[in-house]
Amino acid sequence: MKMNHHFSELPGSYLFSEVAKRVAAHRAARPEQGIISLGIGDVTRPLCRPVVAALAEACFEQGRAETFHGYGEEQGDLFLRQAIAGHYAGLGVRVEPEDLFISDGAKSDLAGLSELFSPGCTVLLQDPVYPAYRDASLLAGRRVEYLDAVRENGFLPLPEPGCRADLVYLCSPGNPTGAVYSREQLAAWVAWANAQGAVLVFDAAYEAFIADPALPHSIYSVPGSETCAIEVCSFSKTAGFTGTRCGYTAVPRTLQREGLNLHDMWLRRQTTKTNGVSYPVQRGAAAVFTAEGQAACRENIALYRRNAQCLAACLEELGIWFCGGENSPYLWLECPDGMDSWQFFDHLLQGAGVVGTPGSGFGKNGEGYFRLTAFGAEADTAEAVRRILRLYGR
Ligand code: MLT
């Protein structure tokens, strides 16, 4: 066999491609109905001024011989890694610039990290789950096992007795459910991983949305995590970089398995497969951590939070069960009237021109659920709420 037949284990198309396909068909059939997308978690606020200024300045630097930059540093430019380490210090967490790798966003690293493991390894995921972990693991031929993330455990499963895996993906605040692990719950995962010799990949892409000061933003706030955890984060949702692309991954130099150092392995892998992120984008990303950049990002997140509150009030008025939206840009709701996820998707699209994401696309436990994002423009979100209320006769 010469071809990668694991492709046939995947759903026919990536979840968000399928949603986009159905929306395009609906738009062609009903061009008069303006569509409001609260589906894919794509931001709508533009890059803030300090970021744009830094990007532009760096582009001009690239156009002058005296300030021109060729290839950057292997792990990403030091000025950005230092700024990220400073951000961690502000969270009360110690991550050193030497542990950090700059990337083009979380997704490629989340998928690529499984290359540190042998083909026969077992990957443990939650169900429902961000489909990129699942699809990348299946494509690489990994054995994938699932822990149920259900209402009964607050969508926050913990390692069960007898639970065995080599690599575990955790996402907190969680995509799609918006649930956030407490420090004690993360400590249970860290203790388990260290005892088992497993590695945790912690996706912190939504950490900036945590409003509750008691909740942890980083796995590294748990002692012992430096010997079992890799953390992946992104500027996409925090600073509006979905179309600009930049993220970072911490692989502590203290993380070893079977006599191998995972930091050294990741460096070897990265230097083989990528020459990193462009100098202007790294300059733009570093500007996120200036006082002005932080203030602008906080303002945008406050706007998204108001959207979440507006959506939450709508669901409450309709008596629809939901969670999330408080420490996360995602609201996870039960489809009303016994509809399944795709039925409710069609109902909302046909009846209100509002797009969400069917929960079943995130796994079997997502069936009967639906995800809305708070990343829409403020006026669009308010209009979506009006349309949904009208659909239900309010
Ligand atoms: C989502 O909607 O789940 C995210 O936008 C996907 C992503 O960040 O790749």
> What are the extents of the domains in the chain?
5-42+292-391, 49-290
**41 CA to middle of ligand 1, Å?**
5
Specify the CATH number for 5-42+292-391; select among 3.90.1150.10, 1.10.3720.10, 3.40.190.10, 3.40.140.10: 3.90.1150.10
Pairing of strands 369-373, 357-358: antiparallel
Mutating to test ligand 1, I would choose from 15, 175, 304 the residue with most ligand atoms within 8 A of its C-beta, which is: 175
Position 171 scores a pLDDT of: 98
CATH of the domain spanning 49-290: 3.40.640.10
Ligand 1 site, residue 40, Cβ cutoff 6 A:
yes
C-alpha of residue 186 to centroid of ligand 1, in Å:
23
| Model pLDDT, residue 251 | 98
pLDDT tens track for 63-79: 999 999 999 999 999 99
Q: Say if ligand 1 is within 6 A of residue 371 CB.
A: no
pTM listed for this prediction: 0.96
Question: What pLDDT does residue 162 have?
Answer: 87
Give the residue whose CA is nearest to atom 6 of ligand 1: 41
Q: Cβ(249)–Cβ(97) under 8 Å?
A: no
Q: Quote the pLDDT of residue 1.
A: 80
Tell me if domain 5-42+292-391 and domain 49-290 are identical in fold.
no
Using a 6 Å cutoff on CB, does residue 247 contact ligand 1? no
Distance 65 CA to ligand 1 centre (A): 39
Q: Is 276 in the pocket of ligand 1 (CB under 6 A)?
A: no
134 φ/ψ sector (left φ>0, alpha ψ -120 to 50, else beta): alpha
Decide whether any atom of ligand 1 lies within 6 Å of the 41 Cβ: yes
Structure tokens at 367: 């069936």
- For residue 176, the model assigns a pLDDT of 97
CA 42 – ligand 1 centroid, Å: 7
SS3 322: strand
Q: Which atom of ligand 1 is nearest to the CA of 131?
A: 3
pLDDT at 331: 98
Structure confidence at residue 160 (pLDDT): 86
- Beta-carbon-side half-sphere exposure of residue 305 (alpha carbons within 13 Å): 15
Q: Where are the beta strands (DSSP E) in 121-166?
A: 122-127, 143-148
CA pair distance 15, 329, nearest whole angstrom? 19
Q: Whose CA is nearest to atom 1 of ligand 1?
A: 41
141-155 confidence digits (pLDDT tens): 999 999 999 999 999
DSSP letters of 323-342? EESSSSSEEEEEPGGG--HH
Q: Mind listing the pLDDT tens digit of every residue in the chain (394 residues)? A: 899 999 999 887 778 888 999 999 999 998 888 999 999 999 999 999 999 999 999 999 999 999 999 999 999 999 999 999 999 999 999 999 999 999 999 999 999 999 999 989 999 999 999 999 999 999 999 999 999 999 999 999 999 888 899 999 999 999 999 999 999 999 999 999 999 999 999 999 999 999 999 999 999 999 999 999 999 999 999 999 999 999 999 999 999 999 999 999 999 999 999 999 999 999 999 999 999 999 999 999 999 999 999 999 999 999 999 999 999 999 999 999 999 999 999 999 999 999 999 999 999 999 999 999 999 999 999 999 999 999 999 9
Please state whether the peptide bond connecting residue 176 to the residue before it is cis, i.e. omega within 30 degrees of 0. yes
Contact 127, 121 (CB under 8 A): no
With a CB cutoff of 8 Å and minimum separation 6, the contacts of 295 are none
CA 157, CA 149: separation in Å to the nearest integer?
6
Count the Cβ atoms, other than its own, within 10 Å of residue 32. 5
Residue 267, judged by CB atoms within 10 A of its CB (0-12, 13-18, 19+), counts as: middle
